Amino acid sequence: MADLAHDIPLPAQRPPAVSTGVLGWLRANLFNSAFNTILTLIAVYFLVVTIPPAVRWTLIDAIWNAPNGQACRAAAGQEGGACWAFVAEKLRFILFGRFPYAEHWRPLFVVVIFIGVILASCDRRLWGARLVLLWLAALAVNGVLMWGGVLGMTYVDTSLWSGLPLTLILAVVGMVFAFPFAILLALGRRSQLPAVRMISVAYIELVRGVPLITVLFMASVMLPLFLPTGFTIDKLLRAQVAFILFAAAYLAEVVRGGLQAIPKGQIEAADSLGLGYWRTTRLIVLPQALAVVIPPLVNNFIGAFKNTSLVIIIGLFDLLGTANAALTDAAWQGFATEAYVVTAAVYFCFCFFMSRYSEMLERAFSSGRRH
């Protein structure tokens, strides 16, 4: 007969210590080949060289309070840390710029409202006509807050608008107005009418072929020449127009991608139902096309947000412009690194959040289409 002992399972042996736990993970992920070991050592060396000095500069040796730049430098020492006292001193200027100091609550509200509406737009359950209304309402309220002149608020000229609110206004208003223009351009590019198609293509390719700076220059130098004599247009509006014209060309290509994704059968079905061009476009084509392009639209918005920093070239003070202007204070000289690090952190927060959101949307959309 069979040996009974054969049927009794042996107690499970523990896996070797080097293949489980921290040691196992290290072996599997950092030292699984000679080449990877070398890479790991290089990476660790890089971290050892960069991280401790960076931490020392940002936190340990940093000075948080000082009456002026010289005192701060003296306290930090020659090879010392960051002087965050400079940022503490200039924070309100960097965020709100030349807006009257006593009225800073107004741009603060503007920023909060913009962030609130952007967050609300991220919720897919709210997508629809009501969201458009919410945006229009937010723009109107923000306009009142920035301009003032009613409800007991003093009037503030656009030349004093600066800092983060200006960055947000340029980006948001730019995209909101560029979007309908972009849809028309994209429809024009796909049109059956050769003249319409050619003019649309010429516009899109012309604008996409030149840097944003040239468009901004054109708006700031040539827009006054374009208008009838005696007609002036303020600097902010010029930059805003340049942004809208520029962003529209890029958005048009995104929208075109969506239009091309619509099967021809959809349009033929609309034709057979007797719908005309505009009703086909409005009821059949656009709802499907725009839904497809939402993730690239968010990416486009990130680009537009970063591009607003170029307005410093034509003398507007957006977030980067105010950070730059803060550096010119004679009492606080030589703190460029501190100012740029803080500004970069603000831009990073916005862009990183949006890019994560767009990645999430892309995943959600592609999983929806796979079924």
Partner 1 sequence: MASVNAAAAPRPTRPPPWRDPAVRAIAIQVLFVAAVAGLIAFLAYNTFANLRRQNIATGFGFLEREAAFGIGESVIAYSPADSYARAFLVGLTNTLYVAAIGVVLATILGTVMGLARLSSNWLVAKLALVYVETFRNIPLALQLLFWWGLLREGAPAPRQAWQPLPGVFVSNRGILFPVPQEDPVHFWMLLAVVFGIFATVAVRRWARRRQEASGRQFPTGWVGLGLVLGLPLAAFAAGGAPHSLDWPQLKGFNFAGGVAISPEFTALLLGLVIYTGSFIAEIVRAGILSVNWGQSEAAMALGLKSGQRMRLVVLPQALRVIVPPMTSEYLSLTKNSSLAVIIGFPDLVSIANTTINQTGQAVEGIAMIMLVYLVISLLISLAMNLYNRSVALVER
Which is closer to partner 1, CB of 177 or CB of 353? Answer: 353
Which is closer to partner 1, CB of 40 or CB of 58? Answer: 40
Reading the block at residue 289, the tokens are 């096309």
Euclidean distance between CA atoms 76 and 65, whole angstroms: 11
Minimal distance, residue 217 CB to partner 1, in Å = 6
Which is closer to partner 1, CB of 2 or CB of 193? Answer: 193
Minimal distance, residue 365 CB to partner 1, in Å = 16
- End-to-end CA, the chain: 57
| Amino acid at residue number 208 | R
Burial of 56 (0-12, 13-18, 19+ CB in 10 A): middle
Euclidean distance between CA atoms 181 and 15, whole angstroms: 64
Minimal distance, residue 358 CB to partner 1, in Å = 12
Which is closer to partner 1, CB of 294 or CB of 341? Answer: 341
Euclidean distance between CA atoms 280 and 259, whole angstroms: 12
Minimal distance, residue 251 CB to partner 1, in Å = 15
Euclidean distance between CA atoms 98 and 316, whole angstroms: 11
Euclidean distance between CA atoms 363 and 348, whole angstroms: 22
Which is closer to partner 1, CB of 159 or CB of 214? Answer: 214
CB 258 within 8 A of CB 266: no
Which is closer to partner 1, CB of 13 or CB of 232? Answer: 232
Minimal distance, residue 38 CB to partner 1, in Å = 10
What is the three-state SS of 189-233?
HCCCCHHHHHHHHHHHHHHHHCCHHHHHHHHHHHHHHHCCCCCCC
Backbone angles phi, psi at 250, to 5 degrees: -70, -45
Minimal distance, residue 166 CB to partner 1, in Å = 14
Minimal distance, residue 59 CB to partner 1, in Å = 18
Euclidean distance between CA atoms 243 and 25, whole angstroms: 50
Minimal distance, residue 148 CB to partner 1, in Å = 29
Euclidean distance between CA atoms 262 and 252, whole angstroms: 16
Q: Which residues bind partner 1 (CB under 8 A)?
A: 29-30, 32, 36, 39-40, 43-44, 46-47, 192-196, 199, 206, 208-214, 217-218, 221-222, 224-229, 302, 306-310, 312-313, 320, 324, 334, 336-337, 340-341, 343-344, 347-348, 351-352, 355
Euclidean distance between CA atoms 317 and 161, whole angstroms: 8
Which is closer to partner 1, CB of 19 or CB of 32? Answer: 32
Which is closer to partner 1, CB of 288 or CB of 324? Answer: 324
The DSSP call for residue 63 is B
